[in-house]
């Protein structure tokens, strides 16, 4: 029973690792997917989607369509990188006056910070809650 569980756990770990690797590879290899789709459907793309399909004996054969798809993918990737690298700071508005965020955050932090007192316990519960006594 124990060996069966360890084998199934190992298989599940390997399958999860392969799935993660596949997801990463798909994200990285998007241009490869576009090129392989073009290779698989070259005749259909040349006949229906090519910009020069009306020209007789053209040597494009749908390469213009693939070029456009690759440029679009590159543009999307650049936009995604710009979105990820942009940091937006929104000023806080209070009573129509624009103030910075730093004092607002600092004030909120001061309100939420509990105050502790490390003095000697006085009161009815000092028999239970007290610092350890030294044995002499």
Q: Give, in degrees to the nearest 5, the angle at Cα 33 between 11 and 12.
A: 10
Residue 68 has pLDDT above 70, yes or no: yes
Q: Is 73 part of any domain? A: yes
Q: Is 20 part of any domain? A: no
d(CA 100, CA 13): 49
Specify the residue for token string 């793309």.
Answer: 45
Q: Is 117 part of any domain? A: no
Q: Is 5 part of any domain? A: no
3-state SS string for 11-44: HHHHHHHHHHHHHHHHHHCHHHHHHHHHHHCHHH
Domain that holds residue 47: 30-83
Q: Is 16 part of any domain? A: no
Q: Which pLDDT value is given to residue 75?
A: 92
Q: Is 62 part of any domain? A: yes
**Other beta carbons less than 10 A from residue 30's beta carbon:** 14
Q: What is the pLDDT of residues 71-105, one digit of tens each?
A: 998 898 888 888 777 666 666 555 656 555 554 44
Question: How many domains does the chain divide into?
Answer: 1
Q: Which pLDDT value is given to residue 73?
A: 87
Q: Is 13 part of any domain? A: no
Q: Is 15 part of any domain? A: no
Percent of the chain with pLDDT strictly greater than 90: 2
Query: Residues 83, 75: contact at Cβ < 8 Å?
Result: no
């Amino acid at each position: 029973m124990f060996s069966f569980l360890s084998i199934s756990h190992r298989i599940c770990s390997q399958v999860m690792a392969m799935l993660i690797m596949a997801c990463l590879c798909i994200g990285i290899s998007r241009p490869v997917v576009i090129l392989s789709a073009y290779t698989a459907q070259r005749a259909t793309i040349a006949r229906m989607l090519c910009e020069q399909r009306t020209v007789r004996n053209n040597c494009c054969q749908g390469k213009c369509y693939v070029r456009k798809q690759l440029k679009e993918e590159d543009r999307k990737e650049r936009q995604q990188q710009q979105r990820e690298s942009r940091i937006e700071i929104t000023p806080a508005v209070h009573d129509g006056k624009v103030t910075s965020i730093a004092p607002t955050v600092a004030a909120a932090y001061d309100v939420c910070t509990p105050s502790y007192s490390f003095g000697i316990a006085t009161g009815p519960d000092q028999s239970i809650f007290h610092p350890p006594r030294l044995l002499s």
